[in-house]
Amino acid sequence: MKTFIVISDSHGRAGAVERVQRLFPENDFIIHLGDGSGDMRPVMGEFPEKTRVMKGNCDFYYGEDECVIEAEGVRVFCCHGHKYGVKYGLERLVARAKELDCAVALYGHTHIADVKDVDDVLCVNPGSIGDYAEPTYCFMAIHRGNVTATIVRA
């Protein structure tokens, strides 16, 4: 089994990332989906081998545009989502995930936590870890090809 902590949209609120920091050592992957990528520099320093940071529309210097992670035979597409118009629908995100042969698409940008299957791609938005009202993140586990994604209040 491989486990993921997926966060997004911390927007310069380092304390928001610190809220979930205690979970980082015990999970296999730490993913930040952008907009606040600089908030992850200390995490990258401590856990470089398992941390991936995407660049969002508010990030100018740090992060990857997108990446694919393979775990337990499942390919996971990671991006911020703004380049795929996720505020207006998930069709372009799903098309890109399929193009990359991914069964899961992780995205942020909307600040709205959501987990749903769209055309056989599990689309997961962890919401915003930086929101004041209801910060959220996603715990995701992949075991023997099965994916479980759970939205958690931070």
What's the gap between Cα 1 and its chain centre?
Answer: 18
pLDDT of 133 > 80? The answer is: no
Q: Is the pLDDT of residue 129 over 80?
A: yes
pLDDT digits (tens, 9 = 90+) for 77-102: 999 999 999 999 999 999 999 999 99
Residues ≥6 apart with Cβ < 8 Å to 18: none
| 12-62 residue pLDDT tens | 998 899 989 999 999 999 999 999 999 999 999 999 999 999 999 999 988
CA distance 86 to 140: 20
Look at residue 131 and tell me whether its pLDDT is greater than 90: no
**Residue 68 and residue 54 in contact, taking contact as beta carbons nearer than 8 Å:** no
Supply 33's token pair. Answer: 């989906």
pLDDT at 148: 98
Q: What pLDDT is recorded for position 7?
A: 98
